[in-house]
Structure 1
């Protein structure tokens, strides 16, 4: 028989503070937090792209969950060569454990470091929620005619929750990661944007333990977050959820389908 979930503030916070945070498996949140998914279905679309590639690179793979799913769906038509990078040590270990059985090496590479691969090495580069897209480096490792297919985090994502803890953020923070700015940067790197879609998606946190675990897992949301530092705000949030229901925020996502022109072919107008 399943054990009942804790309901007191102290028990909920203690649980959220103890759950392991490695990888990007969010199954622990089931029944405790929800996030609507983008209409384009990135993981399944990625599987289709992998099925048509010969050499693929997954940048900042996290714990390898999305790539693992996509490769399983794309089999037996997966590319002969698939490589992943990751820069956070706990995720490197998790991704290696998950992807090694699929024959995918995971390269330990810092998020802000140049990609450690030769020019034109891949006809498909993918990424789900990169910290920052380094367009010049993406263009460099793509073969002519190759594709960058990625889902990015958009502007002011989950800011309702962030500003609950940090207070109002500067206007410039709300403009960071705008898809139109990233489009301009991709084009400046010599790439063609074939498709760009953006959506804002409803999120709900049903208990304060889910908030604690989320902020421990997605560490850049509230830098330096600890239960001790924010206990008073967490208690207020617990009482608010009890009085009015789930805490609602909105994530921002956009999908990039970008191509590197082949020699002798000008950029599309």
Structure 2
């Protein structure tokens, strides 16, 4: 998973850093971002809240894995999500494009018998035609033609993605343009593209979930690690806006944004194809 595609998850807030100075919070966030490995967003525990959806990707993935004999996880990141789904099928392959994450994923996933392979975005996946009955993808890039190629007839593709109107309030608070064209509709486009390729859409859901940043450290960490949100982000360049936001957070409480998420579950037609739900 490319670092530009990372998406953090919310945790309960404990507000344990109310008296730290702006400078101390920024320095702490930058140090934590530098030390981050894989996609472990534990630094945000106690600094963010919300982000809950009506569906649970881990639960849906776990249920699908339980019925799978051959699993491919695309853009696995550091392998944190895939490892949490164990026990895994005896034939499980994970792909990842960013070299530091490839190494992290191998350390985490090889004890589960997972074959981690490097695969760059936009290239042919290093797997055979029809090799898998399940393809998982959470907040990673995917090529619909490649997903079709590697799935066996009746196989399932499950993906959760961040939408084009994700966290627009954060960009606005810092005077930065949206990361993507907010007027585009990636959800509808993804569903249409899957259908045009021949997939049967079993589930398609979209939500905007409130998500709160409780201190400036959470903001700086998020924007440093999730670098595609504001591509030119630098604490010096955005110092004035960050300090203004810091004062707002201390005086008025959290900055609430809206996580734009969508989920699609699709099947390649064939024997044993599950029904929609």
Query: TM-score if structure 2 supplies the norm length?
Result: 0.86
Please give the residue correspondences for 1:160-175 in structure 2 after superposition, counting only pairs within 5 Å: 160-169=169-178, 173-175=181-183
Among residues 26, 33, 36, which one is paired with 1:13 in the alignment? Answer: 26
For 2:198, the equivalent position in structure 1 comes to 190
Structure 1 residue 124: deviation in Å? 0.3
For the residues of structure 2 that align with 1:142 and 1:177, how far apart are their CA atoms?
26
Question: Tell me, which stretches of 5 or more residues in structure 1 are unaligned?
Answer: none
By how many angstroms is 1:177 displaced? 5.0
Are the equivalent residues in 2 in contact too, given 1:17–1:227 (CA < 8 A)?
no
**Distance in 2 between residues matched to 1:148 and 1:192, nearest whole Å:** 10
What is aligned with 1:147? 156
Q: How many residues align?
A: 255
Map 1:161-240 onto structure 2 (within 5 A).
161-169=170-178, 173-240=181-248
CA contact (8 A) 1:21 1:216 kept: no
Deviation digits for residues 58-84 of structure 1 (CA, Å, limit 9, x no counterpart): 00011111111011xxx3xx3120111
Alpha-carbon deviation of 1:228?
2.0
1:175-234 residue CA offsets vs partner (Å, 9 max, x unmatched): 345311111111111211111011111111111011111111111111132222212211
Change (3 A) 1:45 1:169: closer
Distance (Å, rounded) in 1 between the aligned partners of 2:178 and 2:89: 43
Q: Within the alignment, does 1:134 sit opposite 2:147 as a pair?
A: no
* Counterpart in the other structure of 1:120: 130
Q: Helix, strand or coil: the match of 2:204?
A: strand
Structure 2 portions without partners, runs of 5+: 1-15
Match of 1:95 among 87, 92, 105: 105
Check conservation: 2:47, 2:218, Cα contact below 8 A.
yes
Match of 2:11 in 1: none
Mapped to 2, the partners of 1:209 and 1:169 lie a distance apart of 21
Q: Which residue of 2 aligns with 1:24?
A: 39
The Cα of 1:12 is off from its aligned counterpart by 0.3
C-alpha displacement of 1:168: 4.2
Residue in structure 2 matching 1:111, options 114, 121, 131: 121
What whole-Å deviation, never above 9, does each CA across 1:121-177 have from its counterpart, x for those lacking one? 11100010113x31111111111110101111123111111233353449x701345
- What TM-score comes out, normalization by structure 1 length? 0.88
Match of 1:245 in 2: 253
